[in-house]
Amino acid sequence: MRKIVFSALLAVALSAGAQTTSDPVVMTVNGKPVTRAEFEYFYNKNCNIEGAVEQKSVAEYADMFVNYKLKVAAAEEARMDTAASFRQEFETYRDMQLMPYLVDSAYIDSVAVSLYDRTKERLQGKDLLRPAHILVLLRQKATEADKERAKQRIDSIYGLLKGGLDFAEAAKKFSQDPGTARTGGLLPWVGPGALLKEFEDVAYTLQPGQMSEPFLSPVGYHIVLMKERKQLEPYDTLRPQILASLHRQGIEEASAEAHIKKLIDASGGRLTREAVIDSVLNARSAANPDLQFLVKEYYEGLLMYAVSKQHVWDVAEKNEAALEAYYKKNKKKYRWTEPRFKGFVFHYKNPKEKKAIKKFLAKQTGDNWRAEVKKRFNKDSVQVLVNGPYLCKRGENPYVDQYIFKTGQGRVLPSFPYSDVAGKKLSQPKSYRDVKSLVVADYQEELEKAWVADLRAKYPFEIDQEVLKTVNNH
């Protein structure tokens, strides 16, 4: 009983005035209803927007949407939604969308106050300092001679400063602290315990505008100029800065997780993290259905990608025998209206190497030619520069135009006075590889059609035509 009451209270607390509305079912796919609101969300987002590449009527989109839902059904039947990689990616996205509803401002304020109080306690009434410094480094095992040279150098810089040299310019020119030299030696605001003791002891004796004499610390010799010092401002003054800093560190995520933990603890451990997230999603979706559809869109999109990759995309991409057979069956479809050059463009330094380079490149069909070029021609230094392989027609590459099509001229590279090409001029494709992207796309489309036909035969679906007529018209 307590669990039921608590769950109800949780839903009420998170709902923010959620209310239900009449939402008829526009279609049912494999036993799962699709409401008109859900269909309208997808349709209006994807196919009925101004400037869309291909606008669809409601009826046309409904047919496509059935196919989409059938693919999701296939993925769920294959339990792709239980894969660890899927759960991690989906839950990360879902939680990101729900985070604004879980952020606890009281938690964030408590963290901000705690940070302020710790800073105040650490200061113990002392000022915050904004010093600038110039450093002459000393290595840990510096000899007396090293120390003397460093002392002479810092004294020399100090003399220049006393003579009127600008401190920031001196820091940029002479300081050996790489973290501050480029900013004129300026350090951030600091308090007690943030600096070396020797540095801090000197810094706290200085007022704004005062400069120290050179002094030694464990890292070297310093000269300090006090730029500013102040008492810690009241919390209300610093609150916006503290909150901005916490935001950069991801305080909203920590707050959301703390809120989830608070709800779990309040249930006596009866609720899980997933149950809390589901309650938030359901409650917020009642007032904002688009939130539910957005999360659902990502969930189903991941599933459709995974199942399509398995049944269509990878099959078409990797089945070379099937691609070659498809190409041969549809050869006329891939005929060129003008010839292409298939091969490499190369640039070289030694004219005596030309024949060997052309002969080598003419035989290359795999992906390891780069390593072979380095092994054969560029052992000690780069003597040959190879680009490609290309499959291009006239006007697409200046070197191919020059050496194959006898038009135009490629520019001479400064380090490689000679250029040429290695390969063949083809009047028509020799295999599917010469038009692979086109063949793969067409073969994927054929596989897709056959797969969808199988899905339509396997899973039941029904469209309520009367409800469909009311889409965007109710």
8 pLDDT band, cuts 50/70/90, is very low
Distances (CA, A) of 413 to 75, 351, 354, 381, 399: 54, 15, 16, 17, 12
Mean pLDDT of the chain: 91
CA atoms within 13 A on the CB side of 180: 21
Q: In angstroms, rounded to a whole number, what is the distance separating the alpha carbons of residues 274 and 64?
A: 32
Q: In angstroms, rounded to a whole number, what is the distance separating the alpha carbons of residues 113 and 469?
A: 57
Q: Beta strands of 79-231 (E only): which ranges?
A: 128-137, 215-217, 220-230
Q: What is the number of other CB atoms lying within 10 angstroms of the CB of residue 290? A: 12
pLDDT in tens, 418-444: 999 999 999 999 999 999 999 999 999
Residue 355 has pLDDT above 50, yes or no: yes
Residue 101 has pLDDT above 70, yes or no: yes
What six digits make up the tokens of 156? Answer: 């020399």
Residue 322 has pLDDT above 70, yes or no: yes
Q: In angstroms, rounded to a whole number, what is the distance separating the alpha carbons of residues 155 and 136?
A: 10
Domain boundaries, the chain: 1-121+250-322+433-474, 126-230, 336-427
Arch. (CATH architecture) of 126-230: Roll (3.10)
Which range has highest mean pLDDT (134-143, 223-232, 409-418)?
Answer: 223-232
Residue 400: per-residue pLDDT: 96
In Å, how far from its chain's centre is CA 430?
A: 40
SS3 state at 461? strand
Residue 404: per-residue pLDDT: 95
289 pLDDT band, cuts 50/70/90, is confident
